Amino acid sequence: MRMLLIANWKMHYGPMKAGGWIRAFRRERLPKELDIAVAVPHVSLAAARASLGRASIPALAAQDAFWAPDGAFTGEISADMLNEFGVQYCLVGHSERRVHLGETDAMVAKKAAALQAAGISPVICVGEDEAQYKKGEVAKVLRAQVTAAIANVKPDGKAPLVLAYEPIWAIGTGKPCLPQKAKEAHEIIRSVLQKKFSPSAAEHIRIIYGGSVDARNISEYVTTTGVNGALVGGASLDPRAFALLCRTANPA
């Protein structure tokens, strides 16, 4: 299975800066054996696409989409609108949206299904917070989140499903989850996928890790069984640093 590395700019880089990042990243030596994507703010999609032209490295990703195809939903963006920019992946249910905007598992499920129906791979983000971690509730939280989120999606097809395990306490803190703990969490997530789909379908679904990943620790994750890539926030803001991270993930 090809590894997937996604840069998540979060709320950084409007259209004035997005093109510069893309051009600087593309000047770097990039491994062909990995899938690389960049999740940019909606307002930067046009500029990012203009800098990319028809190129697909990095693939373009969005950070959110609404579930309805159109209608009276002020401020929202549909999956079909994302298609106009050639978006290949879209994050869904990032913990920052769950925490600051009250996104629920039910909303995440509707968004994931709408994206997949529009041909865009949903990258469903799940993960426990610090209190849940300390109480030993990781398995319970992950099972509930994943079961709800995948209610209406298919494992594969034109827009294959991706899961991202992002323990909230590890995001932006410089305190990454130990690879062994990430491995256990990925096993829990994969067991839910196995039950919902089939063991062989679940084997082919990429589960990526996110939370304080950088060029120094990426190799620990990509060499951990069951970890199929990474979602990278802070360490993706510098295009050269993110390119180095990509090369480190694939030293060949």
Interface with ligand PGA by CB under 6 A: which residues? 8, 166, 171-172, 210-213, 231-235
Report d(CA 119, CA 114) in Å as an integer: 9
Closest to 176 measured CA to CA, from 238, 231, 100: 231
Alpha-carbon dihedral 41, 43, 46, 49, rounded to 10 degrees: -10
Residue number with CB closer to ligand PGA (35 or 197) = 35
Q: Which of 94, 96, 103, 128 is catalytic?
A: 94
Residue number with CB closer to ligand PGA (59 or 232) = 232
**Least distance CB 168 / ligand PGA (angstroms):** 9
Does the annotation count 12 as an active-site position? Answer: no
When CB distances to ligand PGA are compared, the closest residue is 233
**Least distance CB 127 / ligand PGA (angstroms):** 9
Q: Which of 96, 103, 166, 186 is catalytic?
A: 166
Closest to 80 measured CA to CA, from 91, 67, 92, 93: 67
**Least distance CB 234 / ligand PGA (angstroms):** 3
Does the annotation count 94 as an active-site position? Answer: yes
Report d(CA 20, CA 48) in Å as an integer: 9
Residue number with CB closer to ligand PGA (19 or 233) = 233
Residue number with CB closer to ligand PGA (235 or 249) = 235
**Least distance CB 196 / ligand PGA (angstroms):** 24
**Least distance CB 166 / ligand PGA (angstroms):** 6
Residue number with CB closer to ligand PGA (14 or 172) = 172
The catalytic site residues sit at 94, 166
